[in-house]
């Protein structure tokens, strides 16, 4: 069930302090379930994100014939059915709000010898799917979208062949879908990225015993390899920690410590951006810098952050894919910084759970923060403090949480509407935010 909360009321000001652990990583939880489903043997997942997005993946796998047990909320056992063991689902598979689920399932299901239909909620039904369908078609898939959007109709495959594919956009979802199809195709598939995107798929396939080769910007995978079930320890989600990293920059006089956070370098662009803005952020790798203690190849750290004066920056385009989900909260940091911040080359933000450029621009305007919406970015003039007001999150979890953080610098309360989807990635956000020092209530 979706969290039934429909709005937040965030009072102005507040002091951030203490220690916090955020829920498990969403990208890694989706992949652990899916890879476990098609592996031979059992996969034991701890630290699983029990958010709505990953639960949609879990239910879809069950509908495809995979037995899954959840002895505890964050502990999941997946009894893999092996490479040919998935069975047709009785009905359309509902991916809810989850872009990662629908796109990775396209890669997983296109090579199967049965038909599948993939659907989602109103937001997902508006999002582009041809970016995945097109390369899968050139591998031999019989796959259709409705004017580029879901429902995605997949017809039984007569066999897939490897391709060499140059991704037109830096997208981990497209890369992962092609690699998953390549795993079930004849020959060796090559995917070349225009810029590095998150590499959880490559790292986790390695942990499941699959050989993934990387040569510069090109990743190669040989078809026909079998995954072997394994243990997956899911770290805290950096993208959830991001809200508190910014909150700490704004209001943690004595520091805030975030424990057990995934710090895969393809995810942590926000740390670099905030440091360029003048932030005091310290990363303490778990087990020490050279311990090599990286369960499933994913580095984990404690992150310490302190209040500091932020200055506006011109965001280097090379850091955009490495901080792609963090822009809503980075825009809040920019609104609180001295001087101007400019983001360009971020067109992808227009096709996330909402049009994050337009929705953030609208919300900042409501609070009285001067900004200009650009075709592929946003310009913001920071200010000492801004007003309150009513923000429409457009059902986008990260927009809702970003404006909750903004309340730390607001002169009056911020009401945030349409927040139920926060449960897709951060169940318990309000409790964590209150524990850290935000004056927030769910209404």
Residue-level length of the chain:
443
Q: Residue 336 — left, alpha, or beta (φ > 0 → left; ψ -120 to 50 → alpha)?
A: alpha
CB of 27 to ligand S3P, least distance (A): 3
Distance between CA 363 and CA 369 in Å, rounded?
9
**Considering 53, 121, 325, 392, which one is annotated as catalytic?**
325
Angle at 337 between CA 336 and CA 342, to 5 degrees: 110
CB of 107 to ligand S3P, least distance (A): 11
Q: Which is nearer to ligand S3P, 302 or 325 (CB)?
A: 325
Q: What are the strands, taking DSSP E only, across 176-255?
A: 188-192, 212-215, 218-222, 231-233
DSSP label at residue 286:
T
Distance between CA 435 and CA 20 in Å, rounded?
8
DSSP label at residue 203:
H
Q: Which is nearer to ligand S3P, 28 or 310 (CB)?
A: 28
Q: Which is nearer to ligand S3P, 10 or 242 (CB)?
A: 242
Residues 6+ apart with CB under 8 A from 96: 52, 53, 56, 120, 121, 124, 424
Q: Which is nearer to ligand S3P, 324 or 416 (CB)?
A: 324
Contact status, residue 237 vs residue 425, Cβ threshold 8 Å: yes
Q: Which is nearer to ligand S3P, 93 or 369 (CB)?
A: 93
Q: Is 115 a catalytic residue?
A: no
Residues that bind ligand S3P (CB under 6 A): 27, 100, 171-173, 176, 198, 324-325, 348
Per the listing, tokens 């979706």 go with: 2
Q: Phi/psi of residue 415, each to 5°?
A: -100, 130
Alpha helices in 110-227 (DSSP H): 130-138, 172-183, 200-207
Q: Which is nearer to ligand S3P, 54 or 66 (CB)?
A: 54
What are the catalytic residues?
325
């Amino acid at each position: 069930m979706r969290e039934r909360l429909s709005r937040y009321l965030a009072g102005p000001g507040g002091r951030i302090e203490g220690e916090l652990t955020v829920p498990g990583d969403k990208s890694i939880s989706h992949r652990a379930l899916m890879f476990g489903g098609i592996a031979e043997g059992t996969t034991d997942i701890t630290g699983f994100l029990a958010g709505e997005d990953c639960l949609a993946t879990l239910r879809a796998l069950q509908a495809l014939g995979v037995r899954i047990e959840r002895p505890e909320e964050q502990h999941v056992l997946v009894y893999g059915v092996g490479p040919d063991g998935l069975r047709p689902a009785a009905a359309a598979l509902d991916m809810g709000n989850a872009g990662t689920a629908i796109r990775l399932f396209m890669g997983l299901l296109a090579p199967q010898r049965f038909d599948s239909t993939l659907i989602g909620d109103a937001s997902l039904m508006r999002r582009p799917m041809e970016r995945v369908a097109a390369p899968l078609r050139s591998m031999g898939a019989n796959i259709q979208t409705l004017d580029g959007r879901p429902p995605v109709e997949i017809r039984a495959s007569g066999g897939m062949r490897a391709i060499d594919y140059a991704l037109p956009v830096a997208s981990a979802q497209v890369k992962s879908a092609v690699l998953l199809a390549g795993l079930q195709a004849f020959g060796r598939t090559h995917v070349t990225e225009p810029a590095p995107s998150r590499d959880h798929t490559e790292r986790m396939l390695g942990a499941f015993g699959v050989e993934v080769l990387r040569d510069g910007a090109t990743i190669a995978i040989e078809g026909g390899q079998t995954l072997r079930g394994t243990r997956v320890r899911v770290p805290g989600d950096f993208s959830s920690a991001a809200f508190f990293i910014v909150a700490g920059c704004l209001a943690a006089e004595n520091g805030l410590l975030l424990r057990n956070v995934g710090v895969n370098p393809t995810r942590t662009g926000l740390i670099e951006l905030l440091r360029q803005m003048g932030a005091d952020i310290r990363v303490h790798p778990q087990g020490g810098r050279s311990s090599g203690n990286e369960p499933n190849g994913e580095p984990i750290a404690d992150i310490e952050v302190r209040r500091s004066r932020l200055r506006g920056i011109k965001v280097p385009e090379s850091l955009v894919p490495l901080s792609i989900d963090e822009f809503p909260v980075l825009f809040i940091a920019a609104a609180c910084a001295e001087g101007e911040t400019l983001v360009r080359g971020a067109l992808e933000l227009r096709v996330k759970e909402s049009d994050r450029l337009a929705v953030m621009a609208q919300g900042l305007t409501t609070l009285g923060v001067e900004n200009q919406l650009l075709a592929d970015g946003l310009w913001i003039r920071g200010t000492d403090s801004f007003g309150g007001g009513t923000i429409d999150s457009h059902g986008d979890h990260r927009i809702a949480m970003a404006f909750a953080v903004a309340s730390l610098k607001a002169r009056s309360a911020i009401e945030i509407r349409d927040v139920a989807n926060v449960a897709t990635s951060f169940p318990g956000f309000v409790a964590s935010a209150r524990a850290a020092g935000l004056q927030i209530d769910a209404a």
